[in-house]
Amino acid sequence: MSDISHRGDFDLAAELFLDQLRAGKRPSISEYIRRFPDLSDEILDLFPALVAMEKLKQDQSGSTVPHSPRESAPAGAGVPERLGDYRITRVIGAGGMGVVYEARRESLQAPVALKVLHHGGRGDRNYRRRFQNEARSAARLHHSNIVPVFDFGEHDGVLYYVMQYIPGQALDAVLDHVRRVRGGLPATPGEVATTLIAESGEASEPAPARPDSTHPGSLASADQPTYHREVARIGAEVAWAIAYAHDRGVLHRDLKPSNLLVDDRGNPWITDFGLAKYEGGDDLTATGDIVGTVRYMAPERFEGRSDAQCDIYALGMTLYEMLALRPAYEGRSRHELIRRILESAPTPLRKVDPRISRDLETVVHKAIARSPSDRYATATELAEELRRVAENRPIRSRRIPPHEQLWRWCRRNPLIAGLATSAAAMTLLIAILSTVAFFWIKRANNEIRENLRRAEIAEHQRSERLWDARLAQARAVRFGRRSGQRFDALAAIAEAARIGRELGHPPERFNLLRNEAIAALALPDIQITTEFGRWTDDVASVDLDENFQLYATSDVRGGGIVRRVADDVEIIRLPDSPDQRRLAFGPGRWLADHHSPGTRHLTIWDIGGPTPIARIDVRRPVLSWDFRPDGRLVTLLHQDGSLATHDLRSGKLRVQLPPRTIPTEPILRKHPTAPFVAITSYFSKGFEIRQVETGETLSGEIPWPDGRTYPGDWSADGRQLAIPVPSAVKAAIYEFAERPPTLKLLRTVDLLDSTSTIAFNKEGDRLFGRGWGAVTFMQDANTGRNLFATKAFNFPLVSWDARVLRTDRGRTRLFPGMVNDKGRRFAYWSVAEGRECRLIVHSAPRQIRRWSSLSPDDRLGLGVSTGQVALVDLATGREVGSLPLKDPMPGLYAGFDQSGHLYTQSKEGCYRWPISSSPDAPDVVEIGPPLRLPLDPDYNIAATSRDGRIVAQSAWRPGAVGPESGALLMNLDRHKTPRQLARGVSLGNTTVSPDRRWVAFEGQPGSILVYEVETEEKVWEATSQIGRCLFTPDGKWLATGTDNGRLYAAGTWKPGPQLGPGYLACFSSDGELAVLSGGAGPFRLVEVATGRELARFEDPDQDVEQVSMSADKATLLTTHKKGLLVWDLRRIRAELARMGLDWDAPALAPAPPVVPVRSVRFLGAESIGR
C-alpha cells in the first residue's frame, strides 16, 4: 500500500498502535515508521516499551480484550455509537485502513461486522478510494470461504462497509496459540519488537472474531498427523476460494495469516481485500509500487509485477509458517528480509520437522518456488494437490512408489485393511494346516474331481441322449399321422434346440432340427391343447366366449355361472331361473340366456361389469338367434316366423319383420357384414336367406333329393355359405352377393363323416367339422380333400344348440371337445391348417407330374398334366383356368418367361402368349392371343432369354444325325426362321443367358456345350455328370451338374463355387439362392455364393419333382401328383425364428396386397394348331 500522509503527532500514532495491540493483533512498527517518518526515532524507542507494558497489564488482569466498547475505541477516532441502522457494540480489530467493530443491525436485530475508515484517512481522497476499492473487491465475491460484504455507506463523513460476522480467530492468533501449547515460551518485548520491525507493508487486519472460539485449542492439541491433515485441508479451502476470486479477475495481493480467519468450526475465511486488484477497477498503486507484507511477497513482486502466481506464493508461505510454526524467512531489518527472499531458499520443511509428510512438503515448496514457472499454474491445481494430501491419496507432483501407495490405502481404509490383514493371517494359518493334511486333502480333491468329471460326462451324455430322443420323437410323431403330428413334433424340436444351445452344438446339428421343423410345419393338425372345468350330470349347457377365455355353464336347476378358463375362477353368477336354461356367448360382453324348453324366453346379459345387466329381455317365444360379429345387433327368430333385430347397446327394437311360415326347429345364422340371415332346418329340404330389414328372401335348393340341412356357416368375408347335409354326407358351398342379392351353388364336397355342423376357417378355404362318429376333421373347402381327422370322445353337450361347432374369433380353435369319458373335462381343439405348405388340387383326374411355373407378378401358379395346363390363384388356392393341349413326343410343356409371356409347347406347335389384366375386371387375367414360333414341337423344351426374344431348342436323339439332331436358335428380332446349331449332336437341356450373349446345351454323352449367340460359334465345352445346365438370373454364372454342382463364370468359363449334389431346379430372381431337388424326395435351398445349404424341404407325400421360386423369394411352387404344392417361406421363417432355428438371411418383406384372380380367359385358343 502507498504511504499515507502525516496526519497527527505521536499521541495519535501510539493510540492507533495500542488499539491494534489490545485487539490481539501484532501491528508492524516499521509500518508506523513509514506512515509517520517524522516520528521514526520516537517510535523505535517507545513502541517496544508499549508492547511490554501491555503484555504486563494483560498478565496481571488475565484479560486480553477491552472491558467495554468505549474503552476499546480510540478517543480521537470520532466514531459515533451508531452509524445509520447499525449500533456499535465493541472493537474487534484494527488495521492500517480502519477499525473493525462488532455491531448490531437494529432493523433485523442481527450481528454484523462493521469496518470504519480511520479518522486520519477520512480527508484523504486516495485513502477513501482505497477503502471503497476494498469494499467493492470483496462485494464482487460470493464464496463459502470469503467473508461477504453486505453494505457500504457514509454517515456524517465516516465511511464504512458491513460484513458478515464470523465467530472465530485470525490464523496468526491461532498459530500463536499452537506455539504456546506445543511448548514455545511467550515472546519477550524485545523479540516482539524485533519481529515487528522486520515486517513492513500494510498492517494486518483481523476479520471479525470472537475470542472464546474453541477450535484453535483443539487444533493445537491434535496429534501431529491430524494437525498436518488439517493444515492441508485449510490450505485447500483457501486455495479454492482464491481460485474463485482469480476466475472473476480479483487478486488479493496480501494473503497472510492475519488476513485469514478460522471460525469455530475450523473453516477458513479470507478477509481484508484492501490491496486487492480486479479487472476493470482502478489500480491505486503506481507502476513499480511494492504493496503487501514483505514476508509473504513473491520475489517478482519487488519488480512491481503482480499476478495470480503471487497469491499462490503467499498462500504457500502461510502454509509453511503453519507447519514449521515459524516464518519461512527471518530478518532484523526490511532490507535483510528482502535480500533473503531474493537470494536464498527456505529451509526444507522436513529438516524443520521430520514428521511432516513428504507429499505435504512437496506441495508447499512447489507453491513457494522462487520462479513462477516452477509453481502451480493455478490455485485450483494447488487446491487439488492439498485435497489429495488431506485424504492420504498420492499427489501428482511426486511419483509415489507402490509400497507407499499401499500404506496410504491402508490408512484411508483402516477397516478393510484390518479385515485384509486378518484374512491374510487366516490364510497363513490355513496354509499351515493344509500342509499338515496335504496328502489327505489332495487325495480327497482328486476323488471329488474325478466324480465331478464323471458326473459331467454322464450329464452330457444324458443331455445328448435326450437330444437324440427328442429328434427321434419328432420324426416318429410326424410320421405317425395322428393328432399332435405337428404340435407335438414342434414341441419336441423346440426342446431339442434348447438342449443343443446348452450343449453348444455346432450349426450342423441345428440344421437337422431346422429341416425337421420345416417338415413338421408342412403338416396340418388338430389337437386338444386346453382342458378346463368339469362336466357333471346336472350340467345343462356349456359355451365359450369368442376369445376362449371365459366359459359359461347352466344346470338343470336353472343356475348360470361364468368362469375363467385359465384358473376356473368364478366371474359372474346369473340370477337363478325357474326354467332350465341354455347359455351362449355373443361377441364381446354379451351372453344369451335361453329358457328352453318351456317358455323359450330370451335374455341378453351384459357381463362387462361386476354384475350382469339384462340389456334385452324378450318374453315372446324365441326359436333361434344370432349376433352380428361386431356385437352391435342381434337378430331373433320368433315362433311365429317373424324376425326381430335389436340394438344391443340401447336394448331397443330396431326392425320387426312380419310372421311367415317356417320349418320345425329352424336354426338362424347371421351374415357377418350384411343385413342377411340364413335359416336352415333338419326338417326342411332347402334353406332360405332373408334380408332382416326388408324381408326379401332367397331360396336355396339342396342338390340331393333327400337332403336335409343343418346349420351352416358363413365365410369371414360373407361371400360363401356352407350348408352340411348329413344324410348325403356332403356339404354344398354357395356364392353369395349382396347387391343385388344372389345365391349361386359353387361346388359340393364330400365330407369325411356325417355331421350336423361345419365351420369355415378365416381364409374361407378350409372346412372344420364334427361328425356323428366323434370325428373332428379339417377338409379343403375347394376340393373336399381331407387334410386331417382325429377321433375323440363324443361330447353330449355343446354350446347353445346341440348342432353347433364353435370357433374362436381367429378361427384357429374349436369347441367342444372332451378329454376322456372318465375325466369328463371340457376341452377345446387347437387347429394348425398347415398353410406353410398348401396343396392346390388339380380339378382334372390327371396328375401334374411335369412342370411348375410362377407368373412374373407371382399371382398365378402353373402346372402341367397330361394334355392340360392348369392355372391356380396363389392367394386363394383355387384353380382359375385351364388350357387343353395335345402332348407331343417329348411331352407337353408350358411355363412363364420373365418378359411376362406364357410359352407352350404341344403337338399343336410352340406358342408365345402375352398376359394382361382384363380392362373391365382387375380380378380377371387374359392370356393371348398366341404367337406361333417356327420351332419344332417334337424337339426338347425351348429356353428363352429374359426378354423372350432369343429362343433356343434342342433335340435329344441318341445316335441320330442330320436334321433330327442338334439345336435350333432363333432371334425374334432378326430371324424369321431358326438357325441350326450342333448338327449331328444329340442335345438335351437348354438355357439362354439373360443378356442374350450365350446359349448352353446338355450334350451327349455327359457334356456341356456353350455357343455364342451372335456368332453361332461354340466357345466352351465341359463334361457333366448330371445333364442340367442353367444360367443364373444375373448372367454371371453357368450352373452345371459337373463336379458336385460347379458354377462357371460366364465369358471366361473359369470354375467358381459348388452348389452340392442334386438336380438344379431354379434360381431366385436375384441369383443369390438356388433350389436343388433330389428326384421325388426332399429339395434343398442353397446359398449360391458359398454353396451352403440353408434349408431342406420335405413334402409329406414325398412327391416333389419340379420347383419354381417367386420373384420376392417368399414362395416355392412344386409339382405334386394331385396338383401343386405352395410353400410359404414367410410363414415358415416366422415359425423357425420363434424357435430360434431360422437361417441367417435378411427377413422377407411383408407380403404386398394383391387382388385375387377370379378367373383366367385364354384368347385365341381355338386358333392354335391351325
Phi/psi-derived region of residue 1035, left when phi > 0, alpha when psi is between -120 and 50, beta in every other case: left
* DSSP line for 174-233: HHHHHHHHTTPPPPPHHHHHHHHHH--SSPP-PPS--TT-SHHHHHHHS-HHHHHHHHHH
Q: Which residue has 361389469 as its cell numbers?
A: 609
- What are the CA-CA distances from residue 153 to residues 140, 149, 271, 395, 938 (Å)? 16, 12, 19, 46, 122
Of 59-68, 179-188, 204-213, 215-224, give the range with the top mean pLDDT.
215-224
* Cα Rg of the chain, angstroms: 54
pLDDT band at 959; cut points 50, 70, 90: very low
- What are the CA-CA distances from residue 146 to residues 113, 149, 219, 915 (Å)? 14, 9, 21, 93
Q: Are the beta carbons of 295 and 272 closer than 8 angstroms?
A: no
Q: Which residue has 432363333 as its cell numbers?
A: 970
Average pLDDT, rounded, for the chain: 82
What is the number of other CB atoms lying within 10 angstroms of the CB of residue 976? 7
Cα(179)–Cα(186) distance, integer angstroms:
9
- Architecture (CATH level 2) of domain 10-390: Orthogonal Bundle (1.10)
pLDDT band at 206; cut points 50, 70, 90: very low
The three-class DSSP label of residue 1018 is strand
* Helix (H), strand (E) at residue 167: none
383 Cβ contact list (under 8 Å, min separation 6)? 236, 237, 239, 240, 243
Portion of the chain with pLDDT greater than 70, in percent:
83
pLDDT band at 286; cut points 50, 70, 90: very low
Q: What is the pLDDT of residue 846?
A: 56
649 Cβ contact list (under 8 Å, min separation 6)? 615, 632
Written as nine digits, the cell of 435 is: 500342509
63 Cβ contact list (under 8 Å, min separation 6)? none
* Helix (H), strand (E) at residue 514: helix 507-521
HSE value, Cβ hemisphere, 13 Å, CA-based, for 791: 5
> Given this structure, which CATH class describes domain 843-938?
mainly beta
Q: Which residue has 450342423 as its cell numbers?
A: 508
Written as nine digits, the cell of 273 is: 481485500
Q: Of 925, 952, 924, whose CA–CA distance to 936 is shortest?
A: 952
Alpha carbon of residue 885 to chain centroid: 59
**Catalytic annotation on 254?**
yes
Cα(840)–Cα(305) distance, integer angstroms:
101
The three-class DSSP label of residue 1052 is coil
HSE value, Cβ hemisphere, 13 Å, CA-based, for 325: 19
Higher pLDDT, 315 or 819: 315
Q: Which spans in 690-742 are helix H?
A: none
Q: What is the DSSP letter of 617?
A: E
Query: What mean pLDDT do residues 165-190 have?
Result: 73
Alpha carbon of residue 437 to chain centroid: 55
User: Domains of the chain: which residue ranges?
Assistant: 10-390, 528-833, 843-938
Per residue in 658-683, pLDDT tens?
A: 998 888 888 899 999 999 999 988 88
Q: List the Cα angle 198/199/200 in 5-degree steps.
A: 125
Q: What homologous superfamily does CATH list for 528-833?
A: YVTN repeat-like/Quinoprotein amine dehydrogenase (2.130.10.10)
Q: What is the DSSP letter of 1145?
A: S
Q: Are the beta carbons of 902 and 915 closer than 8 angstroms?
A: yes
Q: In this predicted structure, which of 5-9, 152-156, 745-749, 854-858 has the lowest mean pLDDT?
A: 5-9
pLDDT at 527 over 50: yes
Phi/psi-derived region of residue 641, left when phi > 0, alpha when psi is between -120 and 50, beta in every other case: left
What is the number of other CB atoms lying within 10 angstroms of the CB of residue 696? 13
Cα(538)–Cα(556) distance, integer angstroms:
6
Query: What mean pLDDT do residues 1060-1073 have?
Result: 87
Q: Which spans in 23-151 are helix H?
A: 29-35, 40-61, 69-72, 125-139
What is the number of other CB atoms lying within 10 angstroms of the CB of residue 782? 22
Query: What mean pLDDT do residues 292-308 have?
Result: 87
Per residue in 964-985, pLDDT tens?
A: 678 888 888 888 888 888 887 8
Q: In this predicted structure, which of 191-200, 822-831, 1070-1079 has the lowest mean pLDDT?
A: 191-200
Q: Are the beta carbons of 758 and 724 closer than 8 angstroms?
A: yes
Higher pLDDT, 187 or 310: 310
pLDDT at 184 over 60: no
pLDDT at 948 over 60: yes
Using a cut of 0.75, tell me whether the model's pTM lies above it. Answer: no
Q: Of 1170, 1168, 1159, whose CA–CA distance to 894 is shortest?
A: 1168
Per residue in 707-719, pLDDT tens?
A: 778 888 999 999 9
pLDDT at 188 over 50: no
Q: What is the pLDDT of residue 257?
A: 92
Q: What is the pLDDT of residue 1019?
A: 93
Written as nine digits, the cell of 918 is: 382384363
Q: What is the pLDDT of residue 398?
A: 67
Output b/e per residue, 225-261; b: 16+ Cβ within 10 A: eebbbbbbbbbbbbbbbbbbbbeeebbbbbbbbbbbb
Query: What mean pLDDT do residues 950-971 have?
Result: 72
Per residue in 82-137, pLDDT tens?
A: 888 899 988 887 666 778 889 999 888 889 999 988 776 677 787 788 888 888 88
Per residue in 552-564, pLDDT tens?
A: 999 988 999 999 9
* Annotated catalytic residue, options 19, 254, 311, 897: 254
pLDDT at 69 over 50: no
Cα(958)–Cα(93) distance, integer angstroms:
129
Q: What is the pLDDT of residue 500?
A: 95
1069 residue type, one letter: S
